[in-house]
Each structure stands twice: as C-alpha cells, then as structure tokens.
Structure 1
C-alpha cells in the first residue's frame, strides 16, 4: 500500500489548479455562482469530490482494480458536515501510486472541462479565443454525465457484456467541436464496408 502524509491533498489541489488552466478553465460555476479555481478544486471544494469519484471509476474500468475493491487510489472523499459543501478529499493508504492516481484525476478534470465547453456550444479553438475571465466551466453537465454514464449501477453490478455496452467515453478538450454528442458511448469497433 502506498501511504502519504496527512494534509497532502492540498498539494494535489494546487496541481489541479495548474492543470485546469492548462486545459482552458479559470473557474467553475454552480448555477449563477462563479467559483475561483482555488475554491472549486480545494480539498473541500464542490468539484474535487466529483473528480475523485470519477478518477476511481476510470481506474476500475481500466482494469487496475475490481469494482468492489476499496482503497484503490491513495485518496478518497469523506462526508464532512463542517465543510461548505459537505465533503472533503483526504489521503488514504492506496494500492496505486499517487503519480498514476493523479493521471486519472487529470483525465477526469479535462473531461469535466470538455463537457462544459461543449455545453456552451464552443469548439476548442473558439474557447481558446475567449477572455480569461470568461473561461468558467459549469459543473452541472459534468455531474449529470458522471451520474448517468460513469457511476451508473451497470458499472457496479452489471455483467461484463452489460458493462461493455455501457462503456463511457472520456472526452478531452482538443476534441470538442462545440456540438453535444447524441451518443456518449464509446465506439469500440468500426467495421469497414464489405463492398
């Protein structure tokens, strides 16, 4: 098991802020409220707990852990009523090293940003032309996508065939074309015409 110092998650939050800007986001919004990156990606922030759950789903779907395995990642989220949003990301002993686990967090973060860009109808090139203060990502499309495609019951209890059919697609910001996709499922096989 990999172990890390208590309080180390703040360093992860700092790295998430940097990668968020690299992916094109300078803030997140909940409804009409705009949250700066430092607050949204803080260990007690509203985006962080979703990223942690998403990172764990990505790790499990990649085959690095079973769907019922605990402590796969060296971090998790706990309920903490003392925090503004009721959740807190904390370090824990984990089977995977932090460097790999952070890669999954970064992929989840980029997916959330790509969904936000797509929600507003921007292509990647159009988004890059916006003023820095306009690059605010709505969290609601990400939370809906997370719940519907990444954390659905089929991924936890479905047969291998059901999980294969429901396999979600991870977006990246370079592929965003400005149009919401009608089908969020991966296109695993594309057979050519027999003609």
Structure 2
C-alpha cells in the first residue's frame, strides 16, 4: 500500500456518555471519530458529557510482524516434520527388519539389529518431543501477539487460540513409533 493510498486512522475518538442511561444500556455510550459528539450532546433529549480519548489500537510494528510470521512458519514446518520423523523411523525400522533376514536368530548380528531398532525408536521419540516443545514455544509467541493486537471477543470469533497445547498429535505419533519399534524388535528376534 503506497503512502498516497494509506488511510490515517484517527488518533482520538470522542465518547458521549449519557448519564441518564444505565451502564449496560445500548444508548449509554456513543463513540464518534470526530467532534460531532459535542453537537450530539447539545440535543435537548441528550444528557451527559463528551470525553476525548486516545485510540489505543495500533498497527503491528515491523519487528512484531516478523516475529508473528516466523512463529507461523515454524509451526507449519515443525508439524510437518513430526510426521516426516515418524515416516523415516518406520522406513529405518523396515530396513532393519529386511537386514535381519540375512542373520539367524540368536547371532550377534541379529542382536545388534534389535539394539539398533530400540536406538532408532528412542532417538525418534526424543526428536518428536523436542519438536513438540518448540511448537509450544512458538504457540506462546502467537498467544502474546493475539493478546496485544486482538480483543478477547475478536479472538473468540476468529478462533485465535494459541494457548491450547495440542500434544495429542505428538502422543499419537510417539505411540506409532513405540509400536513400530516393538514390532520390529519382535520380528527381528523371530527371524
């Protein structure tokens, strides 16, 4: 958006407070972007005062915008990578099973493959939960941006919830890794 097209937001608003109305009445407050509120308050059927207030909402500063974009991009990346880690774990475990067909049960090579299956499973679990802790860190960053730049009502209406942990995906993927590791170790021992 060019400077000629940029619209200036009002830095002040004028609020007419009708003192004859209850606080929860829809006519208790009227907000004006200009000094028209003073004319409004002079009408015979209006009681109250006009208060001039600064507008607190602001545009997102460039560094905050970059932090927001960085958090979103990293969340997308980390969530995809959790699935990739699980897929690669299954591939490595399948390769270990295929290698086990060359060894007979109870040999050193077979036992080495069983140990390797467990190492692959443990490393995969560690990576998955490291990604999950990074996801939570980026979600906390988003939560701060949402709190600073959106009202509570806007967050509810837009579904902006960065505080939920969503650990169930990591739990499901971890379960898949544990099952695949146990099955591979069992299958290698049987071969």
With structure 1 as the length reference, what TM-score do the two structures score? 0.23
Computing the radius of gyration from Cα coordinates, the structure with the larger value is 2
Q: Give the helix-richer structure, 1 or 2.
A: 2
With structure 2 as the length reference, what TM-score do the two structures score? 0.23
